[in-house]
A and B are shown apart, each in its own frame.
Chain A
Amino acid sequence: SCSRAKDVTMPAKLPVNFFSTKSPVIDLFRGQLDYADQLRQDSEIVLYFFYAPWCGQSIAAREEIEHVASRLSDQVLFVAVNCWWNQGKCRKQKHFFYFPVIHLYHRSFGPIEYKGPMSAVYIEKFVRRVMTPLLYISSRSKLLDFLSNYEPGVVGFFEFNASPQPPGYLTFFTSALHSLKKDYLGTIRFGVVTDKRVAEEISLVHSGSVYLHRHANTSLVYPKDIMNFTAENICKWALENREMLVRWLRPHGGKSLLLNNELKKGPALLIFIPYNPLAEIHPLLDEITKVALEYHKCNKSQAAEPDLQHLGDSDSPAFGSSVTDARLKFSETFPIAKYPCCNTVVLPQWHSISRTHNVCELCVNQTLGVKPNKVHVPHCNFLEIEAALDSFYLQEHTFFQVISNTIECSNFLSFYSPFSYYTACCRTVNRHFLSFISSEKTIFQTPKVAFSSHGKKDNTQFSIPHIEDRNCFIPDLNISSTNITGLSCRTNKTLNLYLLDSNLFWIYAERLGASRSTHLKEFAAIVDLKEEVHYVLDQNQSLVGPTLENFIKNFSVLYSPLKRHLVDDPSVHFHEQHVLTEVTTNTFHQTVFLSAKNVLLLYYAQWCGFCASLNHIFIQLARLLPPDSFTVARIDVTRNDLPWEFMTDRLPTILFFPHQRKEQSVKFPEDFSVNLPNLLKFILRHSSLSSSEPCTKECLHKESVLQQGHISHLEREIQKLRSEIGALHQAHDQLEAQLSEARREEQRLQQQKHTLEKQHKTLQLHSEQLQAIYDQKNQELLEMAEKLQELADASENLLKENALLRILVASRGGKLQSTDKVKEPLQSELTLSEDNDVSLSTATAASEEKRIDNIDTIETEHSSGNRTE
């Protein structure tokens, strides 16, 4: 059985259900690809989920797919196929390098592979795009909506009144599907216009023309005369010519050079926002796009822009007070000098999940109360608004409870001047609405109406952006607010703008220094790979258009006020035994420069093998040095950035900062081995020497302190030695015990030896006896051999005699033949002698047999003797 067990193998377990039977997903866990193909006939849209049951990613994605399926099961058929089981059709026909693979079919078109994030919302969005690759644009307002989106839009104009299906429509439809194959994030959106009047808005006259909308550059019409009107060509043309003002970065998780390639292009502004692809509106995104558009708007006189503007204006009456459309009203620019003294203030949110804000419009109001004639403030004065804000914040709590859609205003006295009144009008808005309120160069029209309806006389209230970090922002607002437009072309530090979904890629933000505690996952940073620096937008500021603009402007100016951001490790756990001082970015200056001690600083990284194996040496050193005059500190430089001048390019590096000469730090020479004596010598050589000074009272005091330290050190040493003695005693006892045991063992062995010797002796005796027997037997054997030899000789003689007799008989026979009748009685005598001969030969054979038997018994005896020996 032992040898058979070696060859035992077991085939893989049979596949079982991967999805639960209640799931809306059809689970072909035996890989029935043929059946899967049949199923495709039943539904217009089919999603195939090819999985391997052992694959972690498939298991993680299963839940997401089920979620999508539960929402779309009435319109889309979800089929999961086990494409691993080697008996299944799928495995035999398809060869995948990873799992899961998601394929989508729109009727016969497909497969369209989904390569986006394995997250339900993203998958659902993509499936919806496959369901309706073309958006039907029925009206001007819808067209405007479509085009104002931050993602590039392609519009086809097809008149349906002539024939059931206008020529080229199918091609256009296919190209929309086709684009999903290449552009799996679905950044290019396809729309179709059937109304001639709507089409005119984008100067499309002929049915069958295709238009690519661009914001910063001139929009394009598909050149039918140059390129063939095929689905692939349209798709390619759109992809090549689309505008990428601000780009989504969505690393797929596998090995990729995406960030490398993008960041090598130059400094990049990475904006992290939580993004739900299924949401109808993305106010924050719109705001960012607006900033991006301004930033890239190099040439103000453009063909497309007035068009749109016109469209917006002409359509405006149609829009009600709907929040979504409000932005269209704010599209005119006003010179900043005409702004009166108003400011929009966003009250802090009650809790972060809330999607509403209380927004207040705060204005300096000179129409109320006593208005001194001589004081005339034509422009909005920085101090004025500062004072207003201060007063406002004092009264803030009174506005906290406002949760209504109507605007409520109240006046309050200035904190500084009895002559000034401030008016604050507050209302609750959805978060996205914020963007319009606070975006610059817009008139806040809706509130204006409301203000006047409240009977206030100051109906020329305009908003200027309010940034909470007033100190740095407001002074340069006047200069900078006007020149974000087209800044990308004017500066030599052009930024590329990128968006990242913080639901998926927040880790990058954390790496760049985003606070881990924040609930609101919004973050912006400028990364300059070439200069190896990055700047971070203060996380205390809310991420809105104006703060972003300001961030960009600050980066672009010649003497940038931005400071290189140093990432700090907030999760430093202090040592339980407090032996080594752990330094971070924030505590570096304090610990190293401001402390009145000699500091030995170790630069290390947890992953570096050469650092970690030195831990025990530094711990020993720290335990040895007097703690009141020496600090042994270390800094993990992978988690803590330091100013350039304190950085090091190799780890471990050991620096010594002597007391009173902190700027003269010295580096432990790399060529010497890092051990306790060397480190001590290094410190001794470089620590402050006091021997040259003449000894004053102070010096004497120092001396006594020093000696005190020495005494305590020696006491520690004594204690150490005591414990060492203790250990030695223990070891001694242990040794003693071992020794006595060894002695006992020795005795035991001695006894054993004796018994063994006895045994040996008896054995020897036995062997001697056996030898004697052996000799004896040998002797007997020899004798026997001799006897046999004799017998053999005798038989040989007999044989010779026999032969002689035969000759004799033969000669006699010859004679007898001549005289036969006469010698007949003599013949009988001869026969008798022959009989004698036969009996003799049998006797010889018997004796030989006996000899062989004899040898055998001797041999067996001999070998048994061996064994007993």
Chain B
Amino acid sequence: AVMQRFLGPLLCLWALRLPAGTGAAARGLDVASYRERVRAMFYHAYEHYLESAFPYDELRPLTCDGQDTWGSFSLTLIDALDTLLILGNVSEFQRVVNVLQEGVDFDIDVNASVFETNIRVVGGLLSAHLLSRKAGVEVEAGWPCSGPLLRMAEEAARKLLPAFQTPTGMPYGTVNLLHGVNPGETPVTCTAGIGTFIVEFATLSHLTGDPVFEDVARKALKALWKNRSDIGLVGNHIDVITAKWVAQDAGIGAGVDSYFEYLVKGAILLQDKELMSMFLEYNKAIKNYTKFDDWYLWVQMYKGTVSMPVFQSLEAYWPGLQSLIGDVDNAMRTFLNYYTVWKQFGGLPEFYNIPQGYTVDKREGYPLRPELIESAMYLYRATRDPTLLELGRDAVESIEKISKVDCGFATIKDLRDHRLDNRMESFFLAETVKYLYLLFDPDNFIHNDGSDFDVVVTPYGECVLNAGGYIFNTEAHPIDPAALHCCRKRKEEQWEVEDLMREFYSRKKTKKFTLKRAPDHGEGENAKEPEDASSEKAGEKRNSKKRSHSLLSCPSQSFNSKLAVLGQVFLDNT
């Protein structure tokens, strides 16, 4: 103690003499401390949900109780499950898996949104199933091709299948989990409600071996593609019986958003050129008609005239999507625009009128959506730009200051005065917190670049899993793309590999080796492709006319991207 008293003043003197600090900007963010704050945010919300709201779908943070919103599935618990693992809480993950297996029942007389049930319940269960081995859950022998969570996901998905029985193949928006489509159900569905199934449904089909899921999802996607306007845009709502567009606003936000997202993610997950070519066509039209000064507006889908000069909170996923396909420059430019809106309000209003620079009447809320943070996470992977961490910092500060209440985190009802609403959506724990944490945790297993992997022996052969490249569904549930190559369909490929390896060790190479073309129109037509050398050459010729490079690739980054950080953007030379 004596020592301390003696040293105290000395240290003070020394501190005073230090040269003036160079400032917050130079010191950079303390990433670790923000990561811990995000973790604390998660547990504050999660524990209060368990305490006050479980087994209801959502927590009501102002009244400290629960309510059912999208069904009656303990939705917040399903949605938050994989976030637990990302935060490293293995034991709680295991506990929740058991709780869900016993407690959740889909044989209920409930009208559920087909879209929401798919992305939150099916997606949540699928990702939890695929991550369960990593989380130390004892898995059965057939994993990842079988398992209790997978069966639950399949059951939930089967409940949705009746919605797809329409003349066009586009699904109804709502389905009764017990009775199927209600008589007199409205045939009007939003575009995203039709085109947001391929990631979950194709995964289900690949894991279970039942092609029905992928087939209906593809059929719905193709129906939308067929009904695009002459200028290549899709509207907001369509009649699934008559295929007439009911709402003709075209844009990248609410009602359409995850359709585009799933075209890209589906293309990556399934190595599918057809989906990618659809997206690239849309991308062209979107750039032509809706993009102004790195903002994306709403236009009439047939004429291309601007109908709403509005930025929507939901549109903020776009830069992240662009970065996945290598359009990092444009992504960053748009991101910086969106970031200015956050700086103005401490959140993103549902609608923001761009020319007026203010919120739009009745659309001033911010339900703690994840989209801008999601984009920041993707872009940070690509650029390591500290500006993106700054957005993370701003998000943590805002959410803690504005929406934290005793019982959780409340939706902001009005960004102009920060009034709160009695709701905490399940995506807050599934997405917002997850992306924030991942932004501040660059070494998380989710960011694995292939330097780490697991080898799993299944009855279908040996699989390499968890090698990175996770595809997040639109509710931020990660899907391991390697798992899709693990079940059922593998045998033929394995035999082929065996043959080739034999060839490898034989002294005389007898065969001529011809490569198999990537399936252009889904895997079903794979077998029809003739396998002779001439087809390869012909194919090359045919394709070289259409395009100069593979659709399933990113452009490498330009030289000036080295300097495109801290808000600096570069214009194309073209």
Q: A615-B468, A651-B326 are in contact. Are A671 and B553 (CB under 8 A)?
A: no
For the complex formed, measure the closest distance between the CB of A358 and the CB atoms of chain B, giving whole angstroms.
23
**Other-chain contact of B417, A86, A580, A603, A727 (Cβ < 8 Å):** A86
Is B517 at the interface (CB under 8 A from chain A)? yes
- Residues on A with C-beta less than 8 A from B571 are 257, 260
Alpha-carbon distance between A256 and B519 when the two chains are bound, in angstroms: 43
Is B340 at the interface (CB under 8 A from chain A)? yes
Binds B, one of A314-322, A604-612, A760-768: A604-612
**Other-chain contact of A615, B63, B340, B482, B556 (Cβ < 8 Å):** B482
**Other-chain contact of A98, B343, B453, B503 (Cβ < 8 Å):** B343
- Residues on B with C-beta less than 8 A from A669 are 515, 536, 540
The answer to whether A259 touches B509, judged by C-beta atoms less than 8 angstroms apart, is: no
Contact with A along B463-486 (1 / 0, CB 8 A): 011011101000000000110010
Q: A59-B397, A650-B549 are in contact. Are A606 and B381 (CB under 8 A)?
A: yes
The answer to whether B518 touches A673, judged by C-beta atoms less than 8 angstroms apart, is: yes
**Other-chain contact of B559, A532, A612, A648 (Cβ < 8 Å):** A532
The answer to whether B413 touches A9, judged by C-beta atoms less than 8 angstroms apart, is: yes
Is B418 at the interface (CB under 8 A from chain A)? yes
Is B185 at the interface (CB under 8 A from chain A)? no
Is A465 at the interface (CB under 8 A from chain B)? no
Is A624 at the interface (CB under 8 A from chain B)? yes
Is B17 at the interface (CB under 8 A from chain A)? no
Binds A, one of B108-116, B224-232, B386-394, B426-434: B386-394
Is B186 at the interface (CB under 8 A from chain A)? no
Which B residue's beta carbon lies closest to that of A529? B560
Alpha-carbon distance between A508 and B265 when the two chains are bound, in angstroms: 32
Alpha-carbon distance between A605 and B552 when the two chains are bound, in angstroms: 14
For the complex formed, measure the closest distance between the CB of A791 and the CB atoms of chain B, giving whole angstroms.
50
Binds A, one of B76-84, B99-107, B210-218, B494-502: B494-502
- Residues on B with C-beta less than 8 A from A97 are 340, 343-344, 357
Contact with A along B499-522 (1 / 0, CB 8 A): 011011101110011111111000
For the complex formed, measure the closest distance between the CB of B274 and the CB atoms of chain A, giving whole angstroms.
12
The answer to whether B508 touches A691, judged by C-beta atoms less than 8 angstroms apart, is: yes
The answer to whether A255 touches B336, judged by C-beta atoms less than 8 angstroms apart, is: yes
Q: A9-B62, A512-B562 are in contact. Are A616 and B449 (CB under 8 A)?
A: no
The answer to whether A54 touches B382, judged by C-beta atoms less than 8 angstroms apart, is: no
Is B416 at the interface (CB under 8 A from chain A)? yes
Is A756 at the interface (CB under 8 A from chain B)? no
The answer to whether A259 touches B570, judged by C-beta atoms less than 8 angstroms apart, is: yes
Alpha-carbon distance between A678 and B344 when the two chains are bound, in angstroms: 53
**Other-chain contact of B496, A533, A677, A706 (Cβ < 8 Å):** A677
8 A Cβ contacts from A577-624 to B: 577, 579-580, 582, 603, 605-620, 623-624
The answer to whether B507 touches A56, judged by C-beta atoms less than 8 angstroms apart, is: no
Is B452 at the interface (CB under 8 A from chain A)? yes
Q: A507-B386, A607-B381 are in contact. Are A651 and B493 (CB under 8 A)?
A: no
Alpha-carbon distance between A66 and B555 when the two chains are bound, in angstroms: 47
Q: A56-B393, A60-B24 are in contact. Are A680 and B500 (CB under 8 A)?
A: yes
Which B residue's beta carbon lies closest to that of A5? B63
The answer to whether A52 touches B346, judged by C-beta atoms less than 8 angstroms apart, is: yes
Alpha-carbon distance between A117 and B25 when the two chains are bound, in angstroms: 8
The answer to whether B378 touches A607, judged by C-beta atoms less than 8 angstroms apart, is: yes
Alpha-carbon distance between A77 and B494 when the two chains are bound, in angstroms: 77
- Residues on B with C-beta less than 8 A from A608 are 324-326, 553-554
Is A33 at the interface (CB under 8 A from chain B)? no
**Other-chain contact of B554, A60, A254, A650 (Cβ < 8 Å):** A650
The answer to whether B357 touches A118, judged by C-beta atoms less than 8 angstroms apart, is: no
8 A Cβ contacts from B343-368 to A: 343-344, 346, 357
Q: A651-B556, A731-B142 are in contact. Are A673 and B340 (CB under 8 A)?
A: no
- Residues on A with C-beta less than 8 A from B462 are 720, 723-724
8 A Cβ contacts from B136-163 to A: 140-142
Q: A9-B421, A723-B462 are in contact. Are A122 and B23 (CB under 8 A)?
A: yes
The answer to whether A612 touches B402, judged by C-beta atoms less than 8 angstroms apart, is: no
Q: A56-B398, A670-B549 are in contact. Are A10 and B518 (CB under 8 A)?
A: no
- Name which of A54, A574, A671, A709 has the most chain B CB atoms within 10 A of its CB: A671
Alpha-carbon distance between A529 and B573 when the two chains are bound, in angstroms: 10
8 A Cβ contacts from A263-318 to B: 263, 276, 278
- Residues on B with C-beta less than 8 A from A504 are 22-23, 25-26
Total count of chain B residues near the partner, CB < 8 A = 121
Binds B, one of A169-177, A428-436, A538-546, A681-689: A681-689
8 A Cβ contacts from B276-323 to A: 323
Is B420 at the interface (CB under 8 A from chain A)? yes
Is B271 at the interface (CB under 8 A from chain A)? yes
Is A489 at the interface (CB under 8 A from chain B)? no
Contact with B along A660-695 (1 / 0, CB 8 A): 000000000111111111101110110001110000
The answer to whether A612 touches B451, judged by C-beta atoms less than 8 angstroms apart, is: no
Alpha-carbon distance between A86 and B416 when the two chains are bound, in angstroms: 8
Q: A673-B271, A726-B457 are in contact. Are A503 and B553 (CB under 8 A)?
A: no
The answer to whether A609 touches B402, judged by C-beta atoms less than 8 angstroms apart, is: no
Is A368 at the interface (CB under 8 A from chain B)? no
The answer to whether B323 touches A607, judged by C-beta atoms less than 8 angstroms apart, is: yes
Contact with B along A536-577 (1 / 0, CB 8 A): 000000000000000000000000000000010000011111
- Residues on A with C-beta less than 8 A from B167 are none
**Other-chain contact of A56, B20, B397, B500 (Cβ < 8 Å):** B397
The answer to whether B566 touches A605, judged by C-beta atoms less than 8 angstroms apart, is: no
Is B419 at the interface (CB under 8 A from chain A)? yes
Contact with B along A777-813 (1 / 0, CB 8 A): 0000000000000000000000000000000000000
For the complex formed, measure the closest distance between the CB of B96 and the CB atoms of chain A, giving whole angstroms.
23
Alpha-carbon distance between A652 and B517 when the two chains are bound, in angstroms: 17
- Residues on B with C-beta less than 8 A from A717 are 498
- Residues on B with C-beta less than 8 A from A503 are 22-23, 26
Alpha-carbon distance between A511 and B557 when the two chains are bound, in angstroms: 13
- Residues on B with C-beta less than 8 A from A580 are 450-451
- Residues on A with C-beta less than 8 A from B570 are 257, 259-260
The answer to whether B23 touches A118, judged by C-beta atoms less than 8 angstroms apart, is: yes
The answer to whether A650 touches B555, judged by C-beta atoms less than 8 angstroms apart, is: yes
8 A Cβ contacts from B202-252 to A: none
Is B90 at the interface (CB under 8 A from chain A)? no
- Residues on B with C-beta less than 8 A from A5 are 60, 63, 65, 67, 422
Alpha-carbon distance between A680 and B497 when the two chains are bound, in angstroms: 8
The answer to whether A99 touches B554, judged by C-beta atoms less than 8 angstroms apart, is: no
Alpha-carbon distance between A728 and B453 when the two chains are bound, in angstroms: 23
- Residues on A with C-beta less than 8 A from B539 are 671
Q: A624-B501, A650-B549 are in contact. Are A529 and B559 (CB under 8 A)?
A: yes
Is A258 at the interface (CB under 8 A from chain B)? yes
Is B88 at the interface (CB under 8 A from chain A)? no
For the complex formed, measure the closest distance between the CB of B503 and the CB atoms of chain A, giving whole angstroms.
6
Is B534 at the interface (CB under 8 A from chain A)? no
The answer to whether B507 touches A682, judged by C-beta atoms less than 8 angstroms apart, is: no
For the complex formed, measure the closest distance between the CB of B344 and the CB atoms of chain A, giving whole angstroms.
5
- Residues on A with C-beta less than 8 A from B498 are 717
- Residues on A with C-beta less than 8 A from B142 are 731, 734
- Name which of A120, A122, A607, A685 has the most chain B CB atoms within 10 A of its CB: A607
The answer to whether B566 touches A251, judged by C-beta atoms less than 8 angstroms apart, is: yes
8 A Cβ contacts from A233-274 to B: 251-260, 263
Alpha-carbon distance between A610 and B450 when the two chains are bound, in angstroms: 13
- Residues on A with C-beta less than 8 A from B402 are 12, 54
- Residues on B with C-beta less than 8 A from A689 are 509
- Residues on A with C-beta less than 8 A from B458 are 724, 727
Task: Give 7 closest A-B pairs by Cβ, nearest first.
Answer: A119-B23, A612-B469, A673-B518, A710-B505, A615-B450, A616-B482, A607-B382
Listed A/B pairs (10) with beta-carbon separation below 8 Å? A12-B402, A55-B397, A254-B336, A603-B556, A605-B382, A609-B469, A650-B555, A681-B515, A723-B462, A727-B141
Beyond the given A504-B26, A672-B516, please list 12 additional residue pairs across the A-B interface where CB-CB is below 8 A: A2-B67, A8-B422, A574-B451, A612-B450, A651-B555, A680-B501, A684-B513, A691-B509, A710-B504, A727-B141, A731-B141, A734-B140
